[in-house]
Structure 1
Amino acid sequence: MSDIPRDRSLDSTLALLREGYGFIPDRCRRYRSDLFETRLLLQRTLCLSGESAARLFYDPALFTRTNAAPRLLQKTLFGVGGVQGLDGKAHRLRKQMFMDLMTPERMRELLRLNEAHWREAIETWTLRPQVVLLHEVQTILCRSICAWAGVLLMRDEVERCRAWLAAMIDGAGGAGLRHWRARRARAAAERWCAEQVRAVREGRLVPAPGSALQVIAEHREHERLLDPAVAAVELLNVLRPAVAIARFVIFAALELHRQPQWYARLAERDELIEPFAQEVRRLYAFFPFVAARVREGFHWRGHYFEEGTRVLLDLFGTNRDPRTWERPDDFLPERFQHWDGSAFNFITQGGGEHRRDHRCPGEWITIELLKLALRALTRWMRYEVPDTQDLSVSPVRMPALPRSRFVIRNVRPVAVTARFGS
C-alpha cells in the first residue's frame, strides 16, 4: 500500500480561498496524482480529480453525501434537510419527486414562459441607454421559474425574489459580507416559501396540478407531509438553480463577444447551439468541487480511504483534464459534436446517471434554457458591448463572474415571425 500525497500546509483553507478554482488541479499536477490529502477547516480531506476519480466518487456503495457539505453551504446555497444532504433510499425517493416535475409537457411550458419573458424584456431594453445583463437575465429566469412552479409572485415582488435567489448563489463561495448577505436572503426566502406551502395545504392557494409548488406541498414520505421548512428548502431547490443559469448566459455572451464569428454561425445553424451551450458549461463550472464522505473503508489504486473521511471531487479540473479534452482551456464548441457522452468526464452539475446517482435532475432544463438564451442573443436582438467595462474574470472568486456583470447598450429587437425556439 502506498502513501497518499499530502499537502504540506497545516491547514489549506486560506490557500483554497486565495487560489479558487485552481486549488485542486494545480496540486494534482504538482504531485502527479489524481489524489492528494490536505486539511480544510481543520478537517482531514482527500481531493480527487479526473474521469476515473469521478467514477469512483459516484459509487453509492463507497460514498455518502450525508454530513458532507460544509455547514456554510447549507446556510447559504443548499438549506437544511434538502435532497442534497440525503443518501440511499431517502435520496432516491426525494429525487424522484423532482424527476416527476420534468415531464416533456411541463418542460415545454417552462421554455414557452421563458421565451415570452425574454421577448418582453428585449422590448423594454430598447428604451434604456444600457442594461446590466446579469441582473436582467436573473429577472427573466426568476419570473419564468416562479410562474412555472406555481409560486404566487406579484409584479412588485419580482425584484425581491430575484435578489434573494441571486444572493444565495453569489454568497455560496464567498466569505464576509457576501456570505452573510446570502444567509439573510435564504432565511427570508425560506419563510416566504414555507408560507406558500402552508397556503396550499390550507386551501388558500391553488397552484396548477403538477406544478412544483403543488407537488412539493403534497409530497409524502413515510405517510407524512414534508415539514413546511423542508418543503420550503425543496421549493427553493427548484427556483434557485433556474436563476443560477443566468451565470452561464453571461459567460455565453462573453464568449460571443470574444469570438464574434459565432453570432452568425449560431444564427444560421441551429445544430451548433447545443455544442456552444455545452462548451460554456464545460469551461465555466459554478463551483470548483463537490463533497462526500467515505461510507466504508476501501482501497483504490493502492491507497486506503478511511470510513468517514471527507472527499472533494474536482469539477473544474475534471472538465479541463487534458487526458480527456484536447486543448482543454480553449473555447471550442465543435468538440461537443463528437463528444462520447460520458457521465464522468463532463461533470459541471455532478456526475453519474441522472436517475441512479446524484447528478442534478435539472441538468437537461439548464441546457435547454441556455440554448434559448443563445437564440435570444444571436437571433432576437442586436446590441453593443461598451469597451469601458471590465470583462475580466477572476479565477479566485467563487462563483466566478465578469467583473462588470456584462453591460450591453443600444438594444434593437430583430423582427421574426417564428416563435418558440426560432
Structure 2
Amino acid sequence: MNQSRPPLADSSLALLAKAYTWLPDRRRRTDAPLVRTRLMGQHAVALHGPEAVRFFYDERHVERATALPGPVLSTLFGHGAVHTLDGQAHRGRKEMFLSLLTGPKAVAELVDCVTAVWDEAVRSWAERPVVLFDEASRILTQGVCRWVGIPLDDADSTARDMVAMVDGFATPGPRHWRARRARARSEAWLGDLVEEVRAGKATAPTGSALDAIVRHRDADGRLLDPRTAAVELLNVIRPTVAVCWFVAYAGHALRTPGVRDRLREDDPAYAVAFAHELRRFYPFAPFLGGRAVTDLEWRGEPIPSGTLILLDLYGQNHDPDLWDEPYAFAPQRFVGRPPHRDQLVPQGGGDRATGHRCPGEDITVALLAALGPRLARLEYDVPEQDLRIPLNRMPTRVRSGFVIHAVPTRVPVAAH
C-alpha cells in the first residue's frame, strides 16, 4: 500500500454543509478513479458507476453489517434489522421480505389499499389548502398498515413518526432526536402487538405481512424477538410511507411543460417511466456505505481492509456520461427503455435477492405509477410558495411540502 500520501482532512463538516453535492463536487475535482477522504475520523473512498455498483455489492469485497453508524440504526433502520446482516443470515431474512414485497399479486394488493385511501381522501380536499407531502404521508400510512394487517388508531401521529424517522436520520440536532423518539414509540407499539398476536390476544390476518413477520424464524431456527420483529415491521411500513417524498416531488414535476398532459393519458408505460424519472431526477439517498472486508484494488487504486466505501447514488443518477441531459426532467427517456439494474440506483443496486438492494423497489415504482396519474387528473391551483429543494439538507424535500388548492369534490375516474 502507498504510505506516501499526505494525511487527509476530515470531510464530516463538509458533508453536512453540502449534503448531496459533496461527493459529486469531490469527484469532479479529482482525476483519480475514486475519491479519498475521511469521515468521522475513518478512512473512506467513494465510487460511482455501474461497474462500481457491482463491485460494491459483491460480498467478497464489501460488507454492510459494521458500516451503518449507530445514529442511523437508532433512527432509520433499527438495531438488528436486515440491513445490518450479511451472508446467509442476510439472505434468510431478505427472503422473507422478498416473499412479502415482490411479485405482481403482493404489489397490486398494496397499491389497491393505498389508492383506495387516496380516492377517499381526495373528496375532503375541496376548497382548502392541501400540503401534498403531509396528505400523502397519511394516505400511505393508512394504506400500508391496512395491507400489513396492523390496526391503526391514529393515522396522523403514526404518519408523523414514520416521516420523522426518515427526516432525522442524517443530521444532528432536533430532527435527529425527534427521529429517535419516533422510533422508540413505534418499536414499543409494534413490539406489544407482536407479543399480543403470539399470545392469542390479537389476530394477524392469514398471509399478511404481520403474520409472516410474527412467525418468521431466522437461520438459527428461532423466532424473532418482539423488538426485532417490530423493527422489521417498520422496515415494511416506513419505506412505504417515505414514498410521500416522491409524491410531493410528483407535484413539483408536473409543472414541467407537457408532462401533466401526457400523464393524464391512459398510458401505463408512460406512468412507469414517470415513476422511474422521479426516482432518478429528484434527490433522496445521497450515497450508501459499506466496509472493505479485505485489501482490495479498484482500477489500480488500493483500498485497505476496513476502509469505509461509499457508493455515490445522487452523483450516478445525474452523471452526464450515463444520462442525456441529466438535469432535465424527462420521463420519455424510460419509455420503451427500462432502466438498467446497476445504472439507475436511487434505492441501491445489485441483485435484490442476494444483495442489499431495496426489496420494496417494485412497490415504490408501482405506487408512483398509480398516484402520479391520479394527481395529474385533478384540477388544482398551486399558490405562491417556496418550491425550492435545498441540496444542502439530508434528506431534502420541497420546502413548502407542495401546497395545492381548489380541488373539486368529484374525484376524476382513473382511466383503465
Which bracket does the TM-score occupy, shorter chain normalised? Answer: over 0.9
Determine the structure 2 residue equivalent to 1:110.
Answer: 110
> For residues 44-78 of structure 1, what are the alpha-carbon distances to aligned partners after superposition, in whole Å with 9 as ceiling and x for unaligned?
11111222211211111111111111111111101
TM-score using structure 2 length: 0.95
Q: 1:383 to 1:414 in 2, by over 3 A?
A: same
How far apart are the structure 2 equivalents of 1:276 and 1:33?
35
Counterpart of 2:272?
Answer: 274
The Cα of 1:260 is off from its aligned counterpart by: 4.2
User: In 2, distance between residues paired with 1:202 and 1:160?
Assistant: 27
Q: Aligned with 2:291: secondary structure?
A: strand
Helix, strand or coil for the counterpart of 2:290?
strand
Give the aligned CA root-mean-square deviation in angstroms: 1.8
Task: Name 2:206's counterpart in structure 1.
Answer: 209
Aligned equivalents of 1:97 and 1:375: distance in 2?
31
Deviation at 1:80, TM superposition (A): 0.3
Answering whether residue 317 of structure 2 is matched by residue 327 of structure 1, we say no
Residue by residue, what CA displacement relative to the aligned partner does 1:152-195 show, whole Å, maximum 9, x if unpaired? Answer: 112xx111111110100110122200000101111111101101
- Could you tell me how far apart the structure 2 residues matched to 1:310 and 1:274 are? 35
Change (3 A) 1:34 1:302: closer
Q: Is the 8 A contact 2:124 2:409 kept in 1?
A: no
Counting aligned pairs with the same residue, the percent is 43
Contact 2:389 2:398 in 1 (8 A): yes
- CA pair 95-191 structure 1, distance change in 2 beyond 3 A: same
The answer to whether the aligner puts 1:370 opposite 2:376 as a matched pair is: no
- Measure, in 1, the Cα distance between the counterparts of 2:369 and 2:3: 46
Distance 1:142 1:170 in 2: 16
Residue 417 (structure 1) shift: 5.1
Q: Give CA-to-partner distance per residue, 1:177-214, whole Å, 9 cap, x none.
A: 00001011111111011011111111111121111111
Q: Is the 8 A contact 2:33 2:299 kept in 1?
A: no
1:348-407 deviation digits (Å, cap 9, x = unpaired) = 00001221221100000000001111121012x2111002x1001111001111111111
Match of 1:240 in 2: 238
What TM-score do the two structures reach when normalised by structure 1?
Answer: 0.94
3-state DSSP of counterpart to 1:360? coil
- More moved, 185-194 vs 107-116: 107-116
Letter in 2 for 1:254: H
**Which is bigger in relative contact order (C-alpha 8 A, separation at least 6)?**
2
Paired residue type of 2:335: Q
Q: From the superposition, tell whether residues 255 and 4 of structure 1 become closer, same or farther in structure 2 (CA, over 3 Å).
A: farther
Amino acid of the structure 2 residue aligned with 1:293: R
SS of 2:302's partner is: strand
Pairs within 5 Å for 1:176-255 = 176-221=173-218, 222-255=220-253
SS in 2 for 1:124: coil
The partner residue of 1:298 within 292, 296, 299 is 296
Q: Distance in 1 between matches of 2:194 and 2:31?
A: 51
Instruction: Tell me how far apart the structure 2 counterparts of residues 168 and 33 of structure 1 sit (CA, whole Å).
Output: 36
Aligned length: 413
The one-letter code matched in structure 1 to 2:277 is E
SS in 2 for 1:39: strand
Task: Identify the residue that residue 14 of structure 2 maps to in structure 1.
Answer: 15
CA deviation map 1:220-275 (0-9, x unaligned): 12221101111111000000000000101111110102x14211111114121111
- Residue 197 of structure 2 aligns with an amino acid whose one-letter code is V
Tell me, in whole angstroms, the C-alpha distance in 2 between the residues paired with 1:179 and 1:168: 8
Unaligned 5+ residue runs, structure 1? none
